Amino acid sequence: MKITSALKAKMKNIKVLAMDVDGVLTDGQLIFDGQGRELKSFNVQDGFGIVILKRAGIKTAIITAGNSKVVKIRADYLHIDRLYSGSYPKMTAYEHMLKEFKVVDAQVCFIGDDITDCQILRRAGLGIAVRNAVAEAKNAADVVTTRCGGDGAVREVIELLLRAKGLWTKVIADDL
């Protein structure tokens, strides 16, 4: 991902990282076992990236059209600040999030991958599509990650945000 000075300036304003789930935090596959239970695979580096991001004081939110117990478990495990599930259209949840966190569009980074994310990708201060996103999402975004959803794309964004803010070294210091 090429970081321009304009992109870096946008990153410095971010106070909230909001993201979709399927295709962003996962590779987009929906897997069901023989009893109809949903299974999802999450990337551990994305998860630890969220932990690091929260150390920096940046709020986190998930906005998903789905309503999955697995996503609730993952959100709880990572201490995601707010989970908006069953949110379609997603813009309603996005507007609630702005009010709840007392932020404006310019302070939000949103990561998406599909058509249902396009309105937020265009409206958020920093809209990011993952590499394997549909063309419409890529066109709506400010930037596209080098990594695919479910394969470290969220971590890539988190590192870029924290480096742009000059916080990366500080928030990982205890882990080195």
pLDDT tens for 100-125 read: 999 999 999 999 999 999 999 999 99
**Residue 169: CATH number of its domain:** 3.40.50.1000
**C-alpha to C-alpha distance for 171 and 51, rounded to whole angstroms:** 10
pLDDT tens for 59-78 read: 999 999 999 999 999 999 99
Per-residue pLDDT band at 136 (split at 50, 70, 90):
very high
Per-residue pLDDT band at 99 (split at 50, 70, 90):
very high
Structurally, how many domains does the chain consist of? Answer: 1
Query: Which domain, by its residues, includes 105?
Result: 5-175
Asked if residues 52 and 137 have their Cβ atoms less than 8 Å apart, the reply is no
Query: Partners of 110 in the beta sheet?
Result: 18, 127
**C-alpha to C-alpha distance for 3 and 15, rounded to whole angstroms:** 19
Residue/partner pairs of 135-140 with CB below 8 Å, 24 or more apart: 137/112, 137/113
pLDDT tens for 14-45 read: 999 999 999 999 999 989 999 999 999 999 99
State the pTM of this model. 0.96
